[in-house]
Amino acid sequence: MAEERKEPVDSEQAAGSGGEAEAVQETAAEAGEETSKAETETGTDEREPEADPDDAKEDAQSADSGSQKDDKKSEKTSRFFGKNKKDDKKDQQIAELTDRVKRQMAEFDNFRKRTEKEKSAMFEIGAKSVLERILPIVDNFERGLASVPENEKESTTAVGMDKIYKQLVKTLEELDVKPIEAVGKEFSPDFHNAVMQAEEEGVGENIIVEEFQKGYMYRGSVLRHSMVKVNK
């Protein structure tokens, strides 16, 4: 069997091969270092920066200041609205009191007018009662003067009676007592009292032809109706 022949290894070649291996290892190591350095730099860049304590303190103070301002604003707003509500309540009370005073004044004015009206009505009732008692005296004076003969009308008695009668009539006129016109006027049940009827020619229907008792008005109201004869 033939023996294999081993060629001797050159020392220079072996040294060259070892140098190449070392160069490769050095290149790999440098690449690993660069990779680690790049990862390190990347990790350092990606991390968040640490918070500054002074900045955090300033932010807290700003937040507290804003909260205090909001609280003060809220307090002022509540006070403002509370004051408005109080003023509204006072205004409402003032309006109610004003309305009450106006109502009382109106009621008092109505009471005063009603009292004056009642007083005037009572006065008129009392005056009418007195005047109604005086009217028969006037009637008697008129009958007495009408019964005086013509030759005695200039006598002292007749002249005296006539003066008293005229004075009485004048006093009644000053008291706003006026006689009601009757003869020749159309009959009205509001002012006249028909006690007889007549059938006279040349006189219109429902016309008063004779007056038996004179009627009187007092302040626009009938004090006594006239007693008359009316034509048919």
In this predicted structure, the answer to whether residue 93 has a pLDDT above a threshold of 70 is yes
Q: What is residue 92's predicted lDDT score, i.e. its pLDDT?
A: 87
Is there a contact between 187 and 230 (Cβ–Cβ < 8 Å)?
Answer: yes
178-232 maps to which CATH number? 2.30.22.10
Domain boundaries, the chain: 178-232
For residue range 25-38, list pLDDT tens digits in order: 555 555 555 555 54
For residue range 36-67, list pLDDT tens digits in order: 554 444 444 444 445 455 555 555 555 555 55
Query: Which residues are CB-neighbours of 48 under 8 A, at least 6 positions away?
Result: none
The pTM of this model reads 0.52
